[in-house]
Chain A
Amino acid sequence: MRNRLTPITLGTMLVALYLFLFAPVIYLVYASFARDTVWPFPWHFTVAGYVDLAGARAYQQALWNSVVLASAAAFLAMALSAMGSIAVLKYRHRWRGAFAIIIVSPMFVAELLIGISTLIFNRKVLGLPGNMGSAIVANAVHGMAFGFLIMLAQLVRYDWRLDDAAQVFGAGPYRTFWYVTLPNIWPAMLGAFVLSFLLAFNNLEISFYNLGAIPTLPSLAWGSLRYGLKPELFALAALVNGVVFAAFAVIYALMRTGLVRFGYRGI
C-alpha cells in the first residue's frame, strides 16, 4: 500500500507543477485567438493577430534574429562543452579540476551581470557598438557552462575504454570519435544544444545589453510593454509553442516506437 501511495503523491506533484508552468503558456495561446488580448473574457474568436503577424516585418525580423542568435550560440556552446567534458573526463591531467571549475563558472554568474559586464567591456574597452557577434558570444559562454554540466552528468557513466579498444584495433583518433564516441554521446550533446538554444532564444538580460538596436523576440516584447503587448506578439508566441509541441510529439512517437532511446539503457 505504502509503495503505491508514494509514486501517486509524487506524480501528482509533478502534474501540478506542469499545470503551474504551462498555465501562462496556455493563457497566451488562448488570448492569441481572442479579439481583446488584454481582457479575453468572454472569448471572441478571431485570427486577426495571426493575419497581422503575416504582414508584420518587424516581428519576422525579430524572430529571425532570435533564431540566428540562439542557433549560433547553442552550436558554439555545444562544441565547447563537449570538448571540455571529454578533456576533463577522459584524461587524468593534473589541471582537470581547475579546467572543470573554469568552464562551469559562467553558470554561477547572474545573467544581469554577464549582460552589464560584456556591455562595459565591448563598449568602453573594445569600443564596439551593439552587435550580433558580441551577443552570440556572451550567450554562448552562458550556455557552455550549462551544456558542460549536462555533458558531465551524462558522460560520467561512459566507458572510455571503448575508445581505447577502437584504437587497439587500429582506428585513428578521428575514426574513433566518429564511430565510437559520437554514437554514444550524441544524446548528451543534443541535450547541451537544446538547453543552450533555449537559454539564448529567450534571453533578455544578456542580449539586451549586447545587441544595441537589433531586435529579438524578447527585446521586442520588452520594448512594446510601454504601449501594451500587441496581439501579433501573442500569435507569434503561440506559433512558437505549436512548433515546440509538435517537436515533443515527434520525440514521443520516436521513443514510443523504440526508434530513439536517448541514452536510456533500461528495459
Chain B
Amino acid sequence: MLRRAETRFLLLGLPGVAFTVLFLLMPIVSVLIFSFWRTESYEIYADWNLDNYRAVLTNPTYLTFLGRSAYTALIVTLLCLLYAWPVAYFVAKYGGRYRLLLVLGLAAPFFTGAVLRLAALQAIMGPIGFINMVVTWFGLEPIGFIMYTKFATGIGLAYLYLPFMVTAIYLSLLNFNFQLLNVAKVNGARPWRAFWAVTWPLNWIGTVIGVVLVFIPCMAESLTPRFLGGPDGALFGTVLGQQFGETGTWAQGSAMGVLLFVVCFAVIVGMALTINPRRAGFTGAGR
C-alpha cells in the first residue's frame, strides 16, 4: 500500500519537476556558462574568462542602471503593498459569492498586451494627454512630472504589477479564518490591534509571495521605461535586452542576466527568511 502511494506521488509530481529542470534550470545553467565566454562579431566563443563580469561591475553606467532598477522596484513594491492589502482584504471579506469575479476583474486588463496598455497610459498621462487636456480646461498649468520621468515609470510599473500583489494576498486571505478576529475582539483587542496581532502575521506568507512577485518583474523591467521613463529613465532590463538585440553581445548579456538573477535570488531568500512557519500559521499543505 505504501509503495503504491509512493509510485503515485512520483507519477504525479515528477512531470512538473522534470519540466522545470529541462526547460528552466538547463537554460539558466547555460546562461551561467555563457557568461564566462566571449562574443565577437555576433559569434560566441568558448574561452573562459571573467571579462564580462569585470565590465559590468566596474562600469559605473551599468551599476547606475542596476541601482536605479533596485530603487524603483523597492519603491513600487512598497506602494503596491500599501494599496493591495486593503483591496484584497475587502474582496476576501466582503466579496461574498462574487469574490472570484472581483479578482478576475483585476486580471481582465491583462487581455490587452502591455505594449498597448502602456501606449494608452502614455496617451492619458502625456504632456498633451488626456489628464493635461482636462487640467488646461480649468485654466491651470499642465502637469509635467507625470510623464517621461521616473515617477511616470513608477506609475506604469504599479499599473502592471499591482494585480499580482492583490491576488497573492487575496489567495492567502481566502484560507484565513476571519472568526479568529472575533476571538481577538472578545478578548478585548481593538480592530487595529487584532489586525497586527492576528491577520497580518497569519497572512505573512501570502504577503511575501506578493512582494516577491512585484519586486522581481520591476527589477527586470525593460518595457515600461521606454514608454514612460523619458531620456534618462532606462533601467537595467532595458540595457540587458539590448545585449541580445541591437549589440548582439550575448556573453556580456549573460553576465548581466546572472547578476540580475543573483540580486533577485538574494531578495527571495531574504524575504523567505522572514517567514516563521509557526508564527505564520502555516499548517502545512496537508492534513
Contacts and interface: CB of A to CB of B under 8 A. Distances in A.
Nearest to B256: A116
A28 interface: yes
A240 B111 CA distance: 7
Contact of B97 (A111, A221, A245, A255): A255
Contacts of B6: 91, 93
Nearest to B212: A108
A74 interface: no
A183 to B, nearest CB: 17
B119 A229 contact: yes
A184 interface: no
A264 B100 contact: yes
Interface-central residue, B13, B44, B118, B244, by most chain A CB under 10 Å = B13
B115 A218 contact: yes
A222 B172 CA distance: 35
Interface residues of B, number: 94
Contact of A103 (B16, B30, B102, B237): B16
Contact of A156 (B12, B30, B175, B220): B175
A86 interface: yes
Interface of B: 5-6, 8-13, 15-17, 19-21, 23-24, 26-28, 30-31, 34, 44, 83, 86-87, 89-91, 93-94, 96-102, 104-121, 123-124, 128, 130, 133, 159, 162-163, 166, 171-172, 174-175, 191, 209, 212-213, 216-217, 219-220, 222-223, 237, 240-241, 244, 250, 253-254, 257, 260-261, 264, 268, 285-287
Interface string A243-258: 0110010011001000
B120 A27 contact: yes
B9 A204 contact: no
Interface of A is mostly: helix
Nearest to B9: A91
Nearest to B110: A198
Contacts of B240: 112, 116
Interface in A152-167: 152-154, 156-157, 160
Contacts of B107: 194-195, 198
Contacts of B115: 204, 218, 221-222, 225
Contacts of B216: 108-110
Nearest to A142: B24
B171 A138 contact: no
B100 A262 contact: yes
Contacts of A13: 83, 86-87, 90
Contact of B220 (A31, A106, A113, A218): A113
A141 B19 contact: yes
Contact of A116 (B44, B91, B223, B257): B257
Interface in A139-185: 140-141, 144, 148-150, 152-154, 156-157, 160, 173
29 contacts: A10-B87, A10-B94, A13-B87, A21-B109, A23-B121, A24-B112, A24-B116, A27-B130, A28-B116, A31-B123, A87-B13, A91-B12, A96-B9, A100-B285, A103-B13, A108-B268, A110-B260, A114-B24, A116-B253, A117-B28, A120-B30, A124-B250, A137-B23, A144-B20, A153-B172, A156-B175, A202-B110, A218-B113, A229-B116
B9 A112 contact: no
Contacts of B97: 255, 261, 264, 266
Nearest to B26: A121
B150 to A, nearest CB: 19
A241 B213 CA distance: 25
A84 B220 CA distance: 28
A9 to B, nearest CB: 8
Contacts of A152: 285
Interface in A1-31: 2, 6-7, 9-11, 13-14, 17-18, 20-25, 27-28, 31
Contact count band on A: 35 or more
Interface in A75-128: 80-81, 83-84, 86-93, 95-96, 99-100, 102-103, 105-114, 116-121, 124-125
Given A109-B261, A148-B16, A14 B26 contact: no
Given A91-B9, A106-B24, A202 B111 contact: yes
A252 B105 CA distance: 11
A189 B159 CA distance: 27
Contact of B24 (A7, A100, A109, A156): A109
A229 B281 CA distance: 50
Given A137-B23, A221-B113, 6 more contacts: A117-B24, A118-B27, A124-B44, A150-B171, A241-B112, A264-B100
A149 B127 CA distance: 41
Nearest to B12: A87
Contact of B89 (A10, A25, A255): A10
A25 B109 contact: yes
A209 interface: yes
Given A103-B17, A202-B113, A266-B97, A24 B124 contact: yes
